[in-house]
Structure 1
């Protein structure tokens, strides 16, 4: 009987080892309902600006521990449907920001309270301390609900590390008239002083996103929120991490 019992114990132990090897040592820290965009559609290009210094802060924002797009599952799947439409035209979406931790929003708000002159690259006509009052930086952000995304469209074979924001279009995307996060009236989606090519790019993006259930924020051509977002009254503060 002892030999039988020992054999059963060895079998059970081996089964436990197999189960442990089948699962990662640490569970994914994402809350229920959230996914990494790359797990839904790895073809969407990611250029997460607040994880580096290519943004109006000139540094990484709090909570951006990895240059990774995280969204609610509904928003990620809706965005994937837009990507399929873009791919059929030999183009791709480029996401600049997705879920934004509440701590990053607070970080941005605190940063604006420090005095400073206009920045010709990011906010050429507004003083730093007026960015909240003028509506360019929010004390709260829909990004913290997980179903808002900032993005543009690019040609599949075109990339660039130069992001001029105000004063010139981003050379890594189609011509949208300005780059991402240009805090200026020229970034309003329906701005009247646009070149024909830029106006066409904005309309293409708005139409494609609207067809997938996203609504545009009229002051920022790049900013879209899923209309039927699952956490419309809830904000999150978990950090952005790699898998």
Structure 2
């Protein structure tokens, strides 16, 4: 049936259009003109702390990830504008944002998938997935398509005036139920810290992801069915 459908399409319809019809998803390459709508958050929020993990070696892959040519946080301007409100609100409480990841090129996501399928590479297991087999990570924790590639999703935490991270009960990118926002094993202080971050983000229009206390997506997303692939530079 699918083949019959495709053969009846007008010749003017491109392969990309066919992909949209069949999957609802647009894969946008590095030449996409929407790149101009993305903002360098480091320049917009000079007081925020940037710890772009996939640019370096301290991440679950254990090395720099494809597509990260600079330790920058890029976001669509709508999400970046909302994030500025979060930073201002955090500073009134003597806190600041610490950012781990923002826009993520599709080629980086592809790198994650290759890594998760290499079951022999378990160098980072002790820190990032101590209680799970690597074969259990694809799905809830690592996806073949990521909302980060749309430019409206961000991973972050809060730091105090000295730059110390608030105790959230689990580190960034720990693949474990302990990272669920409401995991019952965390202390009252850790839960309060998670909810402090959650409150700041939701008040600015970001939606949380219950499995990862650090993960938020600005709604509505500017490009909800698009996955961009221009590099971070």
TM-score by length of 2: 0.82
CA RMSD, 1 decimal? 1.4
Measured after TM superposition, the shift of residue 131 of structure 1 is: 1.0
Q: Report the equivalent of 2:155.
A: 150
What's the CA shift string for 1:115-162, capped at 9, x where partnerless? 1358121001112232104x211111000000000000000212xxxx
Please name the residue that 1:183 is paired with: 175
SS in 1 for 2:213: coil
Q: Which has the higher contact order (CA 8 A, sep 6+)?
A: 2
Pairs within 5 Å for 1:140-219: 140-158=145-163, 172-219=164-211
Q: Residue in 1 aligned with 2:18?
A: none
Note the residue ranges of structure 2 that are not aligned, 5 or more in a row: 1-32
Residues 1:111 and 2:103 aligned together: no
Task: Tell me the TM-score normalised to structure 1 length.
Answer: 0.79
Match of 1:225 among 217, 221, 226: 217
Instruction: Give secondary structure in 2 for the equivalent of 1:235.
Output: strand
Within the candidate set 129, 132, 147, 1:126 is matched to: 132
Runs of 4+ that moved beyond 3 A: none
Q: Quick check: which has more Rg, 1 or 2?
A: 1
SS in 2 for 1:32: helix
Local SS of the residue matching 1:179 = coil
1:137 to 129, 139, 142: 142
SS of the residue corresponding to residue 111 of structure 2 reads helix
Task: Provide the aligned length of Structure 1 versus Structure 2.
Answer: 199
